[in-house]
Chain A
Amino acid sequence: MTPAATSLLCVAALLATALVAVPFGRRARATPAIYGASLAATVVALAGALLHLVAGGTSEVVLPLGLPWLGAHFRLDALAAFFLVVVNFGGAAASLYGLGYGRHEEAPHRVLPFFPAFLGAMNLVVLADDAFSFLLCWEFMSLASWALVIAHHRATDNTRAGYIYLVMASFGTLALLLAFGLLAGPQGGYGFAAMRAAEHPPLVAALVLGLLILGAGSKAGLVPLHVWLPLAHPAAPSHVSALMSGVMTKVAIYGFVRVVFDLLSEPSWWSSMVVLALGGATAVLGILHALMERDLKRLLAYSTIENIGVVFVGLGLALAFRAEGMGWAAALALTAALFHVLNHSLFKSLLFFGAGAVLGATATRDMDRLGGLIHRMPRTSFAFLVGCAAISALPPLNGFASEWLAFQAILQSPQLSAWGLKIMVPAVGGLLALSAALAAACFVKAFGVTFLGRPRSDAAAAAHEVDRFSQAAMFILAGLCLAAGILPGFVIDAVAPVTQALVGDRMPRQTGVEWLSIVPIAEGRSSYNGLLVFLFITISASLAVVVIHRFASRALRRGPAWGCGFVEPSPMTQYSGVSFAQPIRRVFGTLAFRAREHVEMPPPGDMRPARLTVQMHDLVWDALYAPIAGAIGFAADRLNTLQFLTIRRYLSLVFLALVGLLLVLAIWP
């Protein structure tokens, strides 16, 4: 059996599981059965994709479905195999987590059918090899995830999140439809092979790129198309949030890469400037939003936007290098982007699993009602800490390895000849550095407020550790974050066939380098060895511990914390998430959110407490979406009168429309 057929069989198994879940979803035994079946199918698909990525080559399948003269084409090449690995690994981890987490689900029949369907749809999008199948599977993926977003439809704001998601998803699919229409051209070559072979004029290429930024970018969460993401991702059950943030955004990136790097003939150099600018803005704005957030899952969703920005910066650099014929640098930038795709799927799934564990144990996502969970949930907190360190790009974990590659790619860009890029790239590099530093601050806040300190509510004080399945899923992901961080060379080599296919070059082979270092260009220019850094830190820390405990002192006494003379201060006097972010809000927020603070001080003698109110605006929403929503509402109000006309008026309207159309036909040249 060909690898593509194996993948399709796994998808068929997932879809069959979804169908089985429709009638049996309410049964108690359905939860382990459905998640178990999903786990098995995704593990098989993962193994197939991994083997194919290592073995190389392409394999195709044509099914007699879809458009009669076209059929449904599916194709598994290096790019698809890489993204299948990401999708199915995330899917397998979420299924494993669901085995435990799903038991507490109140309405399993609203989740179980859509979970395997969502997984299958994401696999199909990556496999599709013609525009029709791609769009169909894309829309199926959107709808399945939408159904999961509104699974808890009675919770406040969830229906609104679902509504906004549906609107944005439909809009994105429309943009993709138009993009594929332009790519297919007047002959209607809807197969990807035909698009690849066709030559696209510059105007068409620019339009397609713009439409893809709208279509795939809205699904991935590019600013300013991100507004649905922080609403919809947290609304779903936590393992689905992990899938949406960790995996579905990657499928959107796949769509972008597939079209821009593979199908479209080379776009001009300035198009990379658009991608770079959007990526940089997305990275900084996403993480600033995350810092201001007090809802743990929404913070993670905003941080997803930041990471998407980082990936798009890598993609923009790769486009710029490719346009100038610097294949080796393009390979470096693309490798950085793809490596970050993999890394983000690992640590974002881990963090959402941790947030789900906290939600399950305390029934709240509000960080300012949590605290002290490190004592009550030691394993979850350890795994979450690894995730926080990885996403903050701290060596020797995986987030640092991919950001390091991105910085190395930026350092190659003075050799670009276009002036616009010469000025833009250092600014984008600064934005990338700023977003990395802000991410570290954000995850100090996320971990510190949620897990450290003293509990701020009774629910947090009575929390308990989660089940074994959830722990296993989190620890596997944490282990992989470390493994990918200390052995990045293997990942880089695995991505090499993808860059070879897309930009015609690859990074030098890394596995043969002494001591397993990574050397992007040449040893004299830069090198990094995560394994040795990890070993050095471990050895010197253990050395310090051993020497001090052996020769100095090991005595320890517990006592109350220093309270400046106040006895037993309330846990509410601790720094909360909002107060932790206050200095950063004052530095960046006045510009980015028009944040204003107002202190209402009662007059002397009045016993009322003073009140601090903080006003913040989402400028993107105010400037872009509120006017659009207002215009649509206005138009709908005006058109409402059309609903109550007499039959005479309707007939005359039809007649006028007919006359108008005939006039157009008559005047048309």
Chain B
Amino acid sequence: MALILDLLVQGGQMALVLALSPLLTGFVRKVKARLLRRRGPSMLQPYRDLLRLLRKEVVLADNASWLFRVTPYLIFAATWVAAALVPTFAIGLKFSWTADLIAIIALLGSARFFLALAGMDVGTSFGGIGSSREVMIATLAEPAMLLIVFTLALVAGSTQLSMVAVMMSQPEVGLRVSLGLALIGLIMVAIAENARIPVDNPTTHLELTMVHEAMVLEYSGRHLAMIEFAASLKLLLYISLIACVFAPWGIAAPDSAPLAYAIGTAAYLGKLALGGALLALFETSIAKMRVFRVPDFLGAALMLGLLGTLLLFVSRSL
């Protein structure tokens, strides 16, 4: 019985992230539109877009290979699994020990690896420009992220997100310099990873400034739907990650009563809304960078991560 309940909660989390991620994307778009004094599309628009794309036929470039057709599903699956392993409303789920934070980052890395390959598959210049810029960004964002993970793991004594969340809600952790550095670094990495302004613009239609959109230029129909879905899931994942690590309040403990789960879910929805609103506010208040300014931006995140880790190596209390 306990096992079935565990599986139900785990399955609930998988379904929850899947159901919520387009809503989050729609919410961010809505807030952005409001900040720009536009009315904006309905928050449910991403669901409609996905359904419309799913029903359309796929137009495949002549020399697209099997890799091009498999990639969208692989990316979707890897991102979904990663998103479902980040604690949202409860910690200590049945399969939460399957992958720790390092493995979750690496899963996202797998998704990016295949997306970059798919960008080069058709053999147009746009795919190539997108892929080469994406891997350039990734070569800085991934080490920065890993150093931030080191910082968190050293504070919490664990790379398991559930344990990190428990540790972070303890009073003895308190305010620390290294955690502050890690938070800033993590936000910078999250912006880059999700192709948001100022690193990339998800709504751009000018080919030369595109990174992520250039890679997926040849995708259409259900394939594009999978990729868009994966992008929404990734945004949700990063906001959940920041919420779980830096604001673990209200999150339900393992084997708690249904009421605790309900409180956890409500708290989680609140955190998502806050995170989405802050993202929209940040995006409307800043301009996009030139591509070759991005290394400076991410280099700063890398240095913050390194500094945070170094402080912890030198003193356990900083």
Contacts and interface: CB of A to CB of B under 8 A. Distances in A.
A380 to B, nearest CB: 13
Nearest to A580: B132
A385 B66 CA distance: 12
A557 B81 contact: no
A454 B123 CA distance: 5
A394 B106 contact: yes
Given A433-B143, A525-B159, A529-B97, A411 B150 contact: yes
A129 to B, nearest CB: 40
B136 to A, nearest CB: 4
Contact of A452 (B109, B123, B157, B302): B123
B76 A544 contact: yes
Contacts of B282: none
B98 interface: yes
B295 A392 contact: no
Contact of A523 (B61, B97, B124): B97
Contact of B120 (A394, A404, A448): A448
A411 to B, nearest CB: 5
Interface in B76-129: 76-78, 80-81, 95, 97-100, 102-103, 106-107, 109-110, 112-113, 116-117, 119-129
Contact of B143 (A434, A541, A564): A434
Contacts of B113: 389, 392, 394, 440, 443-444
A333 to B, nearest CB: 15
A560 interface: yes
A445 B132 CA distance: 8
B45 interface: no
Size range of the interface on A?
A: 35 or more
A441 B103 contact: no
A338 to B, nearest CB: 20
B158 to A, nearest CB: 5
B128 A579 contact: yes
B67 A385 contact: yes
B74 A395 contact: no
Given A395-B106, A526-B160, A441 B139 contact: yes
A185 interface: no
Nearest to A410: B150
Interface in A503-545: 517, 523-529, 532-533, 536-538, 540-541, 544-545
B310 interface: yes
Size range of the interface on B?
A: 35 or more
B97 A541 contact: no
Interface string B43-75: 000000000001111111111011100000110
Contact of B139 (A374, A438, A540, A582): A438
A652 interface: no
A569 B125 CA distance: 10
A453 B120 contact: yes
Interface in A395-418: 395, 400, 404, 407-408, 410-411, 413-414
A634 interface: no
B160 to A, nearest CB: 6
B247 interface: no
B103 A528 contact: yes
A409 to B, nearest CB: 12
Given A394-B106, A430-B306, A437-B143, A559 B59 contact: yes
A371 interface: yes
Contact of A584 (B110, B117, B135, B158): B135
B288 to A, nearest CB: 17
A430 B313 contact: no
Interface stretch (A89-97, A297-305, A420-428): A420-428
Interface string A368-396: 00011011001000000100010011110
A553 B55 contact: yes
B20 interface: no
B154 interface: yes
Contact of A562 (B65, B112, B218): B218
A430 B132 contact: no
Interface stretch (A72-80, A223-231, A239-247, A570-578): A570-578
B145 to A, nearest CB: 8
Contacts of B199: none
Contacts of A523: 97
A437 B142 CA distance: 6
Q: Dominant SS at the B interface?
A: helix
Nearest to B14: A540
Contact of A575 (B97, B125, B306): B125
Contacts of A579: 128, 132
A527 B100 contact: yes
B159 A408 contact: yes
Contacts of A427: 306, 310
Contact of A582 (B60, B132, B316): B132
A562 B292 CA distance: 26
Contacts of A580: 120, 128, 131-132
A587 B291 CA distance: 11
B63 A375 contact: yes
A536 to B, nearest CB: 5
A449 B80 contact: no
B147 A553 contact: no
A555 interface: yes
Nearest to B112: A440
A458 to B, nearest CB: 16
Interface in A452-471: 452-454
B163 interface: yes
Interface string A103-128: 00000000000000000000000000
B222 interface: yes
Contacts of A18: none
Contacts of B313: 413-414, 422-423, 425-426
A429 interface: yes
A436 B106 CA distance: 10
Nearest to A522: B158
Contact of A556 (B58, B74, B99): B58
A445 to B, nearest CB: 8
Contacts of A371: 123
Nearest to A444: B116
A413 B150 CA distance: 11
B135 A541 contact: no
A447 interface: yes
Given A524-B163, A541-B74, A571 B123 contact: yes
Contacts of A540: 76-77, 80-81
Contacts of A541: 73-74, 76-77
Contacts of B54: 548, 552-553
B250 interface: no
Contacts of B107: 395, 533
B147 A433 contact: yes
Contact of A441 (B59, B127, B135, B150): B135
B74 A537 contact: yes
The 8 closest A-B pairs by CB, nearest first: A575-B128, A453-B123, A555-B57, A448-B120, A541-B77, A583-B136, A433-B143, A561-B61
12 contacts: A404-B106, A422-B313, A426-B306, A430-B147, A440-B142, A447-B117, A453-B123, A525-B158, A529-B98, A556-B60, A557-B60, A579-B128
Interface of B: 54-63, 65-67, 73-74, 76-78, 80-81, 95, 97-100, 102-103, 106-107, 109-110, 112-113, 116-117, 119-129, 131-133, 135-136, 138-143, 146-147, 150, 153-154, 157-160, 163, 207, 217-218, 221-222, 226, 291-292, 295, 302, 305-306, 309-310, 312-314, 316
Given A526-B102, A574-B124, A580-B128, 19 more contacts: A372-B123, A413-B313, A423-B313, A430-B309, A433-B146, A441-B136, A452-B123, A533-B107, A536-B77, A540-B77, A540-B80, A553-B58, A559-B62, A562-B218, A575-B128, A579-B128, A582-B132, A583-B135, A587-B295
